[in-house]
């Protein structure tokens, strides 16, 4: 029985230690041209194989398959062009179904996979919005899918043909479940109703009303006579024949996100706050509490033998529990959220990434997470390394800039003064000064050793998204949402000039290594001649994308351009042609940066991962 949950892109963050996995997950399912993936994205759904040997996790980058005995990743199935929203195993365990979702490259298909070989078998097209819920009939002949397009589709699981469409909901269908005899399908919708359908005829049999929350999770009892429904802080048990509720009881201190019956029907599990609760399915009496998650639980699934329960949480972990003893058996971790910013260390050995409220440091050669820097209260938009390799600066939505010792992870200084989100930080070439740009429209220069503010540069009318020092350190450039690029004298703070040409915000700027050209990214990419102040070339005018990000290779031969389509384009600056497109991210690019030796390009994305690419 499958439990569906509300999907969100606002995940909290949990660290995982080095060497946490026996398998090298960084090498699984890599796109062409990539040599490693750091982070596994965020989780959308989970499903147990009938034999209990495999756990499938739908994520922002594909479907991760785990060996449940070893607790290790064995495969990453990639086929959807955007998020994978839902997964379900066929009763015989041979087929795995996955449902796609939105993003820049929308994918509302259902894909069928051979769960043993990982090969894609077929693609089912019919939904017009995200597929949040999947369920196989008990005999395995029918696959049901529920979508934001307000419909439930029934498919022939063998040939992939659409059998019928179940229409009637007036809101997104978030959860579906077959009765054990396969004759009835239940669907829960954001229209606050649950509908019961005759599977053979497609006839609408009944509707269950009564204030169900918009993300209700539903599950049939083993005999099919009872339907459990999550309803805000409560669980309701409904008689499927009469349409009347049998029992209602409070379950969690926060909203109940998931319910599931044990295979024998005796136990009902629920996930809501930071706990999993077990209940007597007949009386509603509380049996046991599983504690350990640090954020709300969104999914609960029993193994086929009923001995193990798996729970998924917004703390980015999956935990397994012994149902009889309540013992915590294992934790799967390492899942990540949006990665907003990247910076290579000057020696190229370490990559810093800014996430929700922490900075992660990665060993590039060992492909391992080595340190977590904690101290911010919200998302980290910007990270930068000092030229001596000893300090990392991080700027956050909390308006603070933190300086960290890169060897020990120790917090060194907090720079306060901005009244808005920090959008960009960069060290001067000699490493003594840090420049920061903020949503408060100002640029501030800071003394790195003391944390004291040196001066504030005023002139932009809106947020300052990007700041960059010229290679000689004499000039600071700033790009703003007011559509302009301004230049400042770094010693005096004097305003020097303004470049205007973008028709919208300037999200990213980068100096060429020789200091003669400045690249700027917005709805297009402009190359500016510093001396003449003229447009040298405009890139991206044929790319229908906003928020283009730019970074020069160390020798200046390549310009990397990251876009909202999740692709990175490499522009040959000498030939003035697009040299290569690197495709592998599922959501918009947040940062692009070259390693100091120019052999590696790192890109981060809203899909919660970092890809390391071979530079041609």
Boundaries of every domain in the chain: 25-332, 341-500
Q: CA Rg, the chain, in Å?
A: 26
- pLDDT class for 335, splitting at 50, 70, 90? confident
Structure confidence at residue 89 (pLDDT): 98
Identify the three-state secondary structure at position 27: helix
Give CA separation, 245 vs 205, 209, 239, 251, 347, in Å.
Answer: 16, 10, 6, 16, 65
**Mean pLDDT score, 592-610:** 97
Tell me, what's the pLDDT at 8? 26
State the pLDDT at residue 119.
97
For 508, list phi and psi in degrees, rounded to 5: -150, 140
Same topology for domains 25-332 and 341-500, yes or no?
yes
Long-range contacts of 184-188, Cβ-Cβ distance < 8 Å, separation of 24 or more? 184/220, 184/224, 184/240, 185/135, 185/144, 185/152, 185/154, 186/218, 186/220, 186/227, 186/240, 187/146, 187/152, 187/218, 188/4, 188/212, 188/216, 188/217, 188/218, 188/229
* CA gap 235, 227 in Å, rounded: 10
Q: Using 50, 70 and 90 to split pLDDT, how confident is the model at 4?
A: very low
20 has pLDDT over 70: no
Question: How far, in Å, are 21, 69, 372 from residue 73 at the CA level?
Answer: 8, 11, 23
Beta-carbon neighbour count of residue 125 at 10 Å? 12
Is it the case that residue 18 has pLDDT exceeding 60? no
> Considering the chain, what percentage of its residues have pLDDT values greater than 70?
94
Cβ contact 593:345 at 8 Å: no
Pick the CATH number of 25-332 from 1.10.260.40, 1.10.600.10, 2.130.10.10, 2.60.120.920: 2.130.10.10
Tokens representing 255 are: 């909203």
SS3 427: strand
Dist CA 397 CA 382 (whole Å): 10
Q: What is the pTM of this model?
A: 0.91
pLDDT at residue number 354: 96
Task: Give the pLDDT confidence of 66-82 residue by residue, as tens digits.
Answer: 999 888 999 999 999 99
> What does the pLDDT read at residue 333?
87
Read off the pLDDT of each residue in 362-388 and give the average, rounded to a whole number: 94
Tens digits of residue pLDDT in 46-102: 999 999 999 999 999 999 999 998 889 999 999 999 999 999 999 999 999 999 998
pLDDT in the model for residue 99:
98
Q: Average of pLDDT values for 233-249?
A: 87
Mean model confidence pLDDT for the chain = 91
* Nearest Cα residue to 341 out of 394, 401, 266, 304: 394
CATH of 341-500, one of 2.40.110.20, 3.40.50.300, 3.40.50.720, 2.130.10.10: 2.130.10.10
Does position 567 have pLDDT exceeding 70, yes or no? yes
Percent of the chain, pLDDT > 90?
A: 81
Model confidence at 175: pLDDT above 50: yes
Task: Return the half-sphere exposure (C-beta side, CA atoms, 13 A cut-off) of residue 196.
Answer: 23
User: Please, which pLDDT band fits residue 506 given cuts at 50, 70 and 90?
Assistant: very high
pLDDT greater at residue 536 or residue 187: 187
Q: What local confidence, expressed as pLDDT, does residue 413 receive? A: 97
> Is residue 11 over pLDDT 90?
no
Do the beta carbons of residue 230 and residue 268 sit within 8 Å? no
| Residue 17 in this model has a pLDDT that exceeds 60 | no
Q: How much is the pLDDT for 540? A: 58
* Residue that the structure tokens 């001995």 belong to: 307
């Amino acid at each position: 029985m499958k439990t569906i949950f509300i999907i969100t892109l606002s995940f909290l963050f949990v660290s995982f230690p080095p060497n946490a996995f026996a398998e090298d997950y960084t090498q699984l399912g890599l796109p062409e041209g990539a040599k490693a993936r750091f982070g596994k994205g965020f989780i959308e759904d989970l499903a147990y194989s009938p034999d209990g040997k495999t756990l499938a996790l739908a994520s922002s980058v594909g479907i991760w398959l785990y060996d449940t005995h070893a607790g290790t990743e064995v495969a990453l199935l990639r086929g959807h062009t955007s998020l994978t929203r839902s997964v379900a195993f066929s009763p015989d365990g041979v087929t795995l179904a996955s449902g796609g979702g939105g993003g820049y490259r929308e994918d509302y298909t259902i894909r069928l996979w051979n769960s043993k070989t990982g090969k894609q078998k077929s693609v089912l097209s019919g939904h017009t919005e995200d597929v949040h819920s999947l369920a196989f009939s008990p005999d395995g002949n029918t696959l049901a899918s529920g979508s934001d397009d307000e419909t439930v589709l029934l498919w022939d699981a063998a040939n992939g043909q659409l059998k019928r469409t179940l229409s009637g909901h007036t809101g997104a269908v978030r959860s579906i479940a077959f009765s054990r005899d396969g004759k009835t399908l239940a669907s829960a919708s954001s229209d606050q109703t649950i509908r019961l359908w005759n599977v053979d005829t497609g006839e609408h049999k009944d509707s269950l009303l009564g204030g169900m929350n918009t993300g209700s999770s539903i599950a049939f009892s083993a005999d099919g006579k009872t339907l459990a429904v999550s309803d805000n802080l409560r669980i309701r048990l409904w008689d499927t024949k009469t349409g009347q509720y049998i029992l209602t009881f409070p379950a969690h201190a926060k909203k109940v996100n998931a319910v599931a019956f044990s295979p024998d029907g005796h136990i009902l599990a629920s996930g809501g706050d930071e706990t999993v609760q077990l209940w007597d399915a007949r009386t509603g009496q509380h049996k046991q509490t599983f504690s350990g998650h640090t954020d709300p639980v969104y999914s609960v699934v029993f193994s086929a033998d009923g001995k193990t329960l798996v729970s998924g949480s917004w703390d980015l972990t999956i935990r397994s529990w012994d149902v009889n003893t309540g013992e915590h058996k294992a934790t799967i971790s390492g899942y990540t959220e949006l990665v907003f910013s990247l910076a290579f260390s000057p020696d190229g050995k370490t990559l810093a990434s800014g996430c929700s409220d922490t900075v992660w440091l990665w060993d590039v050669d060992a492909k391992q997470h080595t340190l977590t820097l904690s101290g911010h209260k919200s998302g980290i938009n910007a990270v930068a390394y000092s030229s001596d390799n000893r300090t990392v600066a991080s700027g956050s939505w909390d308006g603070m800039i933190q300086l960290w010792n890169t060897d020990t992870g120790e917090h060194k200084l907090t720079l306060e003064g901005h009244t808005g989100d920090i959008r960009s930080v960069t060290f001067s070439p000699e490493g003594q000064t840090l420049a920061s740009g903020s949503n408060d429209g100002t640029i501030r220069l800071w003394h790195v050793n003391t944390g004291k503010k040196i001066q504030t540069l005023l002139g932009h009318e809106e947020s300052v998204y990007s700041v960059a020092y010229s290679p000689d350190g004499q000039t600071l450039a700033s790009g703003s949402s007011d559509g302009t690029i301004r230049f400042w004298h770094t010693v005096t703070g004097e305003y020097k000039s303004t470049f205007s040409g973008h028709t919208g915000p300037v999200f990213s700027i980068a100096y060429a290594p020789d200091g003669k050209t400045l690249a700027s990214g917005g709805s297009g990419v402009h190359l500016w001649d510093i001396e003449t102040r003229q447009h040298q070339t405009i890139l991206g005018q044929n790319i229908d994308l906003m928020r283009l990000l730019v970074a020069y290779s160390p020798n200046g031969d390549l310009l990397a351009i990251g876009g909202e389509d999740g692709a990175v384009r490499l522009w040959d600056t000498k030939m003035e042609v697009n040299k290569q497109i690197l495709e592998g991210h599922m959501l918009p690019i947040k940062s692009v940066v070259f390693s100091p030796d120019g052999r590696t390009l790192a890109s981060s994305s809203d899909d919660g991962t970092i890809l390391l690419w071979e530079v041609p």
